[in-house]
């Protein structure tokens, strides 16, 4: 295994974080929809928390992508 093959393998392993972020985002919005369906009056209280969770999960995905790109090109 040469250096390029190892870099591709490492970048692929770093992208596992993107899959985890996708699952996290799906869970956040599934819980948000279920919460609003049970109690529509709480939408204004629940939505900002859901959007914050979305932003944090998406930040994790962007960080994983940045690490994978650094492994490949640096």
Cα angle 60, 3, 12; round to 5: 30
Which single residue is written with the structure tokens 């390029």? Answer: 4
Rounding to the nearest 10 degrees, give the CA dihedral for residues 49, 55, 58, 63: -130
pLDDT given at position 14? 92
- Going along the chain from its start, the domains and CATH numbers come out as 3-73 (1.20.20.10)
Q: Residue 1: its pLDDT value, please? A: 86
Confidence of residue 15 (pLDDT cuts 50, 70, 90): very high
Give pLDDT tens digits for 24-72.
Answer: 999 999 999 999 999 999 999 999 999 999 999 999 999 999 999 999 9
The model's pTM:
0.84
């Amino acid at each position: 295994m040469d250096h390029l093959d190892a870099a591709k393998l490492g970048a692929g392993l770093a992208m596992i974080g993107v899959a985890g972020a996708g699952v996290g985002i799906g869970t956040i919005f599934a819980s948000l929809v279920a919460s609003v369906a049970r109690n529509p009056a709480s939408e204004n209280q629940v939505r900002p928390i859901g959007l914050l969770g979305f932003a944090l999960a998406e930040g994790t995905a962007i960080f994983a992508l940045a690490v994978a790109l650094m492994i490949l090109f640096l």
